[in-house]
């Protein structure tokens, strides 16, 4: 090969390497002369100033406009991800439409006399920029003068005062069109909740801009009082229809209830083998896509057989709407014309079959899923890094008798430092951490619709400041849901614990609790539990309640467990959706441990601790606890625990970087852990008992702020907390060695909510 060939090859390689940069550079600077949109110019929007905006959100107003300020410095980076952006050019036609959009936006928020005081557009031909200034005169708001409800059937439909109570829009409120639509939908939903499956509500609003009033009339078309009809299932392939039907809690002929349909959807999805589930009355499901032509024909036959109306959900159906006559004009439709049309529609709906067919549409999930990732947990008293490998198999071993089986295997391997590289003092313990859990689930155990079997085998290696522990375990559990919100369960747990790198204070002959530390032991536990859960979302709840009571009973059951104790724990969570974008979260927990046999005591793993991301956040993990009595103390847990938290949550930004919402919170935590038993004494107990008054008098308080970003992997959350209580006066922390372990400030960076 000659030298020319190598020169050409080198030149080709160089151009290939530079081509992405050349493409990005060219794409980042589009020639405005190539723009052919009507009204387009080559002037960049340098500034868009809007003055006089007080009654509405200026941010929402700007987001609805086509004319926007150019992002300036970001245009220099072209189409680079996240930081790059294209310049915004001024379009004269788009600006004329934006002026109409501003008027429409204000009218939708109840300001029908809005006007422009001043508009100026300043162009700089040399710099090719334009500055726009707009001053708005909002005018007086239009308020609701009266709300009328027509078309009810006395003795059959709920009374008007129930349907009109606590609507998003009430008499005296500023007329906001979105609140009007929500009020209309609320009335329709209340009728459906009362059993009127075909209920529909239309509305008419007469606005007097000069008098600043709005008269609202809602027209009800209830249809017949409905019952559940036959159920049809679409989309299942490997999963039998019988398994889906067993998950339903209603039967044909039961009174119609939207809540029952929602519960059915959750129950079918809860089988764990479907990626998507919808449960709808047929007249609302008629436009839902189906996978095959055969299913499409089947859907059409069902709809034709029952002669069902279309899916005219109230937010989308035709509506006489808002009428704003000016200059003495008459409204487009009179009340009598609207009533006549509503009466005809009500008669048509009244002839519908009261037995409502139900459509269940499912989409079976992928059989196998594999996820690989990394994680980090950062606390003031412990840090770790880890790699994650999770896989799952849905409808496992489908060829065997039965179905719906699922297997999940979650493994995390990493390295931990305790109390931490950035914690108080030197690193006391460090090492490899491991958590590997294999879980098998069998819903509909023995064909009982709401009973589930779980078998979980695992092995863990954890590193704390007091010890390193190796812990293989096995858990067998059966749970059954009762009604809609209750779940009762029973589990058998067996675990072996082996300790190494044990701190001197624990390895001594006795501890503050008077219990000998064992470096290896076998633990067997029976644990009944009951839970009440009405949360709207398990991972990110905004309303609802969760209450759980569990009772661990350690004993010698099958393999000779070495401990006998009782450990009841009562926990509660409450979420209030105060308004859109704000949630009040409350949490409390009361736990106790009761020694049954003096010679066995209570293992350190089963005692009670507070402190950490899901507990008292102004303390490090498990730092609110009695400690060993030596110069190098470690927490050893107590026998009584109480915790409570109050956390208002606020949305700070929507869809940040097109990934998820950003939220913030302020919180107040309180907790106490005591070395005595709660209320009841037992023969082996040597430390007396405590009551509610002791809990209240020993409570410690901490406060802080948190922020998180809702990402596809979960909320990425940072909390910073500060102790409010002076710990120097507390006998639990009076020793200097213990005081040195406790910080006034603590922080936590993790994935997931604190509660």
pLDDT tens per residue across span 280-332: 998 888 766 556 677 778 887 887 777 666 544 444 444 545 666 544 444 55
CA–CA–CA angle 487, 488, 491 (5° rounding): 125
CATH number of 32-137: 3.10.20.310
How high is the pLDDT of residue 13? 44
Residue (of 492, 497, 499, 495) closest to 473 by Cα position: 495
Torsion, Cα 329 331 333 334, to 10 degrees, reads -100
Question: Which class would CATH give 142-365?
Answer: alpha beta
DSSP 610: B
Structure tokens, 185: 């939908």
How high is the pLDDT of residue 315? 44
* CB-CB contact of 571 with 545 (8 Å): no
Q: Is the peptide bond before 666 cis (omega within 30 degrees of 0)?
A: no
**Strand runs (DSSP E) across 596-744, as ranges?**
640-656, 660-674, 677-678, 689-690, 700-711, 714-723
Structure tokens, 685: 């107990």
Stretches in the chain below the pLDDT threshold 70:
1-36, 72-85, 287-292, 307-351, 380, 399, 420-427, 505-517, 580, 658, 713, 735-737, 740
Map residue 212 onto helix, strand or coil.
Answer: coil
d(CA 732, CA 671): 13
Per-domain residue ranges of the chain: 1-30, 32-137, 142-365, 464-751
d(CA 564, CA 598): 9
How high is the pLDDT of residue 59? 86
* CB-CB contact of 702 with 727 (8 Å): no
How high is the pLDDT of residue 83? 55
477-482: list long-range contacts, CB under 8 Å, 24+ apart: 477/453, 478/445, 478/451, 478/452, 478/453, 478/454, 479/451, 479/452, 479/454, 480/448, 480/450, 480/451, 480/452, 481/267, 481/450, 482/450
Tell me the fold of 464-751: Porin (2.40.160)
Q: Global pTM? A: 0.71
How high is the pLDDT of residue 257? 94
Kindly report the number of other CB atoms within 10 A of residue 122's CB atom.
11
How high is the pLDDT of residue 334? 56
Q: Look-up: residue for tokens 């736990």?
A: 591
32-137 and 142-365, same CATH topology: yes
């Amino acid at each position: 090969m000659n030298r020319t060939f190598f020169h050409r090859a080198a030149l080709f390689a160089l151009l290939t390497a530079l081509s992405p940069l050349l493409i990005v550079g060219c794409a980042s600077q589009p020639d405005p002369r190539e723009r052919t949109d009507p009204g387009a110019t080559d002037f960049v929007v340098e500034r868009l100033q809007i003055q006089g905006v007080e009654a509405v959100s200026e941010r929402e107003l700007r987001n609805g406009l086509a004319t926007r300020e150019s992002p300036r410095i970001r245009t220099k980076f072209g189409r680079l991800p996240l930081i790059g952006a294209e310049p915004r050019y001024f379009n004269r036609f788009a600006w004329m439409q934006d002026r109409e959009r501003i008027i429409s936006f204000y009218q939708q928020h109840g300001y029908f006399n809005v006007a422009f005081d001043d508009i100026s557009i300043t162009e700089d031909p040399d710099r090719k920029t334009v500055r726009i200034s707009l001053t708005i005169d909002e005018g007086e708001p239009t308020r609701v003068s009266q709300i009328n409800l027509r078309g009810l059937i006395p003795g059959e439909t709920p009374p008007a005062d129930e349907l009109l109570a606590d609507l998003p829009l009430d008499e005296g409120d500023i007329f906001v069109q979105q609140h009007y639509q929500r009020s209309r939908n609320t009335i329709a939903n209340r009728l459906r909740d009362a059993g009127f499956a075909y209920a529909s509500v239309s509305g008419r609003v007469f606005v007097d801009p000069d008098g600043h009033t709005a008269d609202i009339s809602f027209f009800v078309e209830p249809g017949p009082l409905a019952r559940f009809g036959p159920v049809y299932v679409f989309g299942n392939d490997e999963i039998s229809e019988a398994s889906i039907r067993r998950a339903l809690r209603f039967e044909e002929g039961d009174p119609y209830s939207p809540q029952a349909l929602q519960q059915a959807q959750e129950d079918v999805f809860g089988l764990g083998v479907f990626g998507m589930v919808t449960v709808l009355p047929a007249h609302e499901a008629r436009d839902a896509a189906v996978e095959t032509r055969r299913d499409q024909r089947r859907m059409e036959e069902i709809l034709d057989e029952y002669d069902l109306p279309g899916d005219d959900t109230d937010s989308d159906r035709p509506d006489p709407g808002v009428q704003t006559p000016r200059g003495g004009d008459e409204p487009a439709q009179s009340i009598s014309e609207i009533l006549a049309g509503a009466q005809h529609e009500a008669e048509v709906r009244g002839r519908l079959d009261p037995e409502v067919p139900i459509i269940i549409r499912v989409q079976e999930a992928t059989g196998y899923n594999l996820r690989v990732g990394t994680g980090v947990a950062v606390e003031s008293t412990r840090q770790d890094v880890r790699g994650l490998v999770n896989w799952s198999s849905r409808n496992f071993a489908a060829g065997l008798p039965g179905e719906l089986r699922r297997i999940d295997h979650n493994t995390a391997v990493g390295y931990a430092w305790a109390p931490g590289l950035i914690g108080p003092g030197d690193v006391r313990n460090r090492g490899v951490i491991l958590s590997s859990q294999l879980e098998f689930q069998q819903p509909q155990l023995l064909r009982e619709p709401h009973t589930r079997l779980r078998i979980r085998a695992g092995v863990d290696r954890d590193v704390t400041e007091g010890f390193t522990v190796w812990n293989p375990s096995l858990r067998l559990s059966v749970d059954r849901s009762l009604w809609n919100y209750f779940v009762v369960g029973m589990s058998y747990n067996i675990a072996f614990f082996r300790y190494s790198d044990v701190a001197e204070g624990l390895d001594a002959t006795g501890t503050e609790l008077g219990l000998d530390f064992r470096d290896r032991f076998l633990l067997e536990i029976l644990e009944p539990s009951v839970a009440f859960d009405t949360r709207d979302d398990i991972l990110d709840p905004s309303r609802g309640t969760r209450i759980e009571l569990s009772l661990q009973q350690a004993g010698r059951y099958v393999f000779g467990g070495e401990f006998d104790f009782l450990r009841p724990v009562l926990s509660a969570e409450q979420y209030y959706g105060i308004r859109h974008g704000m949630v009040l979260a409350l949490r409390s927990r009361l736990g106790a441990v009761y020694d049954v046999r003096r010679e066995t005591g209570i293992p350190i793993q089963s005692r009670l601790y507070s402190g950490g991301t899901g507990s008292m956040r102004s303390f490090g993990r498990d730092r609110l606890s009695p400690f060993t009595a030596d110069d190098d103390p470690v927490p050893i847990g107590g026998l009584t625990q109480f915790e409570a938290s109050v956390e208002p949550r606020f949305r700070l930004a929507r869809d940040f970087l097109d990934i998820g919402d950003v939220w913030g919170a302020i919180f107040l935590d309180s907790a106490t852990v005591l070395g005595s038993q709660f209320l009841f004494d037992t023969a082996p107990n040597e430390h007396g008992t405590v009551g509610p008054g002791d809990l209240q008098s020993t409570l410690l308080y901490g406060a802080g702020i948190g922020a998180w970003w809702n990402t596809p992997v979960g909320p990425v959350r940072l909390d910073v907390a500060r102790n409010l209580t002076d710990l120097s006066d507390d006998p639990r922390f009076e020793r200097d060695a213990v005081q040195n372990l406790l910080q006034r400030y603590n922080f936590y960076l993790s994935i997931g909510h604190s509660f």
